[in-house]
Amino acid sequence: MEHKLTHGPLLNEKGNLEEAGYAFELVKEYRRSAIKGLKSRIKEWDYYFIRDDEYGVALTIDDNSYMGMASISLLDIKNKTEITKSYIKWLTFGKVNFPSSSKDGDVKIESKQYSLIFKNDNGKRHLICEMKNFKNKETFKCEFSLENTTDKSMVIATPFKKKKHFYYNQKINLLNGEGYFEFNGLKHEFNKSKTLGVLDWGRGVWTYSNTWYWSSLSAKQDNHYLGFNLGYGFGDTSNASENMFFYDKEVFKLEDVTFNIPKDNKGKEDYLKPWTFASKSGDISLVFEPIIDRYSNTNALIIQSKQHQVFGYFTGIIKANGKEYKLEHLLGFAEKVKNRW
């Protein structure tokens, strides 16, 4: 049985999780000042992915204590290409000033080269971003307005085996909105009928080395909103997984999942061949057809990060609430990330 979180403070007086488990909203109160672990291990971030049928935009602000980052990715879905540009600020140690909740509060990170501003007024989100020298000395600009379509989300509080280390995470799927981006002479408009997004809101004290798997879908099919959050690999998830299925305004808890990434004849993972997703109970049975592998491999002193964030189409079945839901060629992403940070 998975444990459902109750309301209250996230951490006890020793800096450990008061309780571990899942919820459908931020029931635990996060306070950076309550952390007792090493200040250099604190990690806070907001990541948005917004897309329609033609383009996707990923926006990241994070503060990993010894370094902060501003990152923008542009995906051309039709032509199966992507551009990612990231800037690092050293020794931020909380100076980015992330709010303690996803419900309100603004966050921004700026320099002469970029400006990423995430405004939030009671769940009405306004993202305004600009980055110079995005590619070939061209400037990238974007602006989005996003709102929740449901008040349900994926929330998980996960401990690590090491004391005073934890991960508090919320994924808000099925964000609906509108906006635009401008780059290299192109201005692309996102309209509400086709635009969906997800927010990955993370706070915690992480151990140094981790490998995780995460997959997210926010889509519309037959005039219904549907999506999921699937993942595993980090921390002690014996109390709860992060696996959930969203259908219109409802959310249903799922149990285990395994990402089956195909391998080539040399035994190396081939991220652009079809994956499968399955659960022991049979409530998850999906095929994932990749089109873009947003790959990065950073190796700088103590920081090592190898990431494959793969975008593509999901087809298959999810069983929840006594019903069988069919997914037909819906755009989402899946990733495998190995970090030492």
pLDDT band at 339 (very low <50, low <70, confident <90, very high): confident
The whole-number pLDDT of residue 301 equals 64
Is 13 inside any structural domain?
A: no
30 within domain boundaries: no
Sheet holding 303-320, edge to edge: 250-253, 244-247, 224-232, 209-221, 323-340, 303-320, 284-300, 275-278, 258-260
The whole domain housing 327 covers 20-25+40-340
pLDDT (mean) for 203-217: 94
Residue 141 lies in a domain: yes
Q: In this structure, is residue 9 part of a structural domain?
A: no
On whether residue 35 sits in a domain, the answer given is no
Residue bearing the bigger pLDDT, 38 or 324: 324
Q: pLDDT at residue 128 above 90?
A: yes
Is pLDDT above 70 for 300? no
Residue 32 lies in a domain: no
| pLDDT of the residue at 252 | 97
With cut-offs at 50, 70 and 90, classify the pLDDT of residue 17: very high
The pLDDT tens digits of the residues spanning 245-288 come to 999 999 999 999 999 999 999 999 999 999 999 999 999 999 99
CATH number where 304 lies: 2.40.370.10
Integer distance in angstroms from the first to the last C-alpha of the chain? 32
Within a domain: 1: no
Q: How many domains does the chain have?
A: 1
Residue 115 to residue 128: CA distance in whole angstroms: 8
CA-closest candidate to residue 174, choices 155, 144, 201, 199 = 199
Domain membership of residue 105 (yes or no) is yes
pLDDT tens profile 79-99:
999 999 999 999 999 999 999
- Chain mean pLDDT for the chain: 95
How far CA 35 is from CA of 42, 125, 169, in Å, comes to 8, 28, 16
